[in-house]
Amino acid sequence: MLNAKKIRADFPFFKQKLKGKPLAYLDNAATTQKPRQVLDAMQEAYVARNANPYRGAYALAVEATEAYERAREKVADFIGAEPEEVIFTRNATDSLNIAANLVCASRKRGSTILLTEMEHHSNLVSWQLAAKRWGHRISYVKVKSDGHLCREDLEKKAGMSPLVFSFVHVSNVLGTVNNAKQLSQLAHENGSLACIDAAQSVPHMSVDVQKLNCDFLAFSGHKMLGPAGIGVLYMKKELQEEFEPLFGGGEMIKKVSLGGASWNDPPHKFEPGTPNLQGAVGLAAAIDYLMGIGMENVERHCQGLAAYCRKELEGIGAQLYGPVKGAGIVSFNVGNIHPHDVAHFADKEAVAIRSGHHCAQPLMNALGIAASCRASFYVYNDKEEVDRLASAVSRAAKALG
């Protein structure tokens, strides 16, 4: 396990106490805290480097451009992409909406989009809207009660050659890790594009787009120690020429006349308007921080905490969802007690967990529940915090069960 206490010392957030107790922050699938290194890098970019990238010939503007492009190179390196394949967006949701609209607008009406019942609303409503807008239909791969995709249903529906198969790499509710390489291959074997929602995988494991051989991959900076407001859409080079940009504005053009415009080279073609320089710099600093720990260590640590958490919660009679061997996410319920009440009990002990449908209502329906509690771990969490959660859950069960 990582030395979480030592890591926590890098995070000004953890200096505060809640109700006189140190905060056990176990809602990392929602968003993560930021280390001093990220905050410092962003502050420096505001204080010393704040100019509009690409738009000025003066030294400061050139420096801003270079800092932004260095951040792009860092992200590209982190996921095994070429820098031109990295498009900066606002977050994973933005990335998935862009992918959905580019793909749906590019093909004739009446195609099928394949999703799964396991998706976060970001990878669901985005495609529903785009499909409706451009005249396509959607089909969903079923999820089994053990939290895995139904293989038979997957092969049947993928075999019908949908336009695109867009799927979540790691479920934000169950921690299920889908075999993204196999799913991308299945999509390609059937002539479909492969789009991966990697919002919960890029922060937690080594992800390489070359190995996965996907066409699109989306994630957010704020779930991996970086700032909110910056996200990434990886788009395979071969596809970039094929798509018309969705949005117009500054710097995405080569030439503009009153009659029309021609497009800048990718990725700029897909990045209209003033870029989020400080967000990109913060994300690059977050990647440096994670690489300093090592992604294999991040993955092992979070999986270890999740396994320990499952054991402790099972010991006090909680109902657990999802596979035993998943990522650092544990979903559970305690008898008939409403998840919000359990979360409220935990909050009284300065333990922060999520409760609700986790932006995955169709998955909740498939599991036959309305809501659950969710503990999700990151590099600064430790077993002591899991113990505090277990004792709060146990108290909730005694008081309300």
Ligand X SMILES: Cc1ncc(COP(=O)(O)O)c(C=O)c1O
Buried b or exposed e, range 122-141, using 16+ CB within 10 angstroms: bbbbbbeebbeebebebbbb
- 83: cis peptide before it, omega within 30°? no
Query: Looking at 91-99, 107-115, 126-134, 304-312, which segment touches ligand X (CB under 6 A)?
Result: 91-99
Measure the CA–CA gap between 126 and 134, rounded to whole angstroms: 12
Q: Which residues pair with 259 in a beta bridge?
A: none
| Residue 92: CB minimum distance to ligand X, A | 4
CB of 6 to ligand X, least distance (A): 28
Please say which residue, 120 or 204, places its beta carbon nearer to ligand X. Answer: 120
Contact pick of 76, 86, 92, 158 for ligand X (by CB under 6 A): 92
Active-site residue, 214 included: no
Binding flag, residue 197, ligand X (CB under 6 A): yes
CB 20, min distance to ligand X, A: 30
Residues 333 and 319 sit within 8 Å (Cβ to Cβ) = yes
Q: Tell me how crowded residue 196 is: count the other CB atoms within 10 A of its CB.
A: 31
Of the residues 166, 176, 200, 276, which one makes contact with ligand X according to CB under 6 A: 200
> Which tokens in the block code for residue 93?
């949701």
Q: Is 168 in the site for ligand X (CB under 6 A)?
A: yes
Q: How far is the CB of 212 from ligand X (least distance, A)?
A: 16
Position among 45, 149, 199, 207 found at the interface with ligand X (CB under 6 A): 199
Which of the ranges 34-42, 153-161, 197-205, 344-352 carries the binding residues for ligand X, by CB under 6 A? 197-205
The residue (of 201 and 264) whose beta carbon lies closer to ligand X is 201
Residue list 210-229, contact with ligand X (CB under 6 A): 220
Q: Is residue 376 close enough to count as binding ligand X by CB under 6 A?
A: no
Cα distance between residue 26 and residue 14, in whole Å: 13
Nearer CB in complex with ligand X: 65/355: 355
**CA–CA separation, 143 and 146 (whole Å):** 8
Of residues 116-155, those binding ligand X (CB under 6 A) = 120, 122-123
Element (H, E) at 342: helix 339-348
Is the Cα dihedral 223, 224, 225, 229 positive or negative?
A: negative
In 3D space, the residue among 233, 210, 220, 229 whose CA is nearest the CA of residue 172 turns out to be 220
Q: Does 204 bind ligand X (CB under 6 A)?
A: no
Interface residue list for ligand X (CB under 6 A): 29-30, 91-93, 120, 122-123, 168, 172, 197, 199-200, 220
Give me the active site residues, please.
Answer: 359
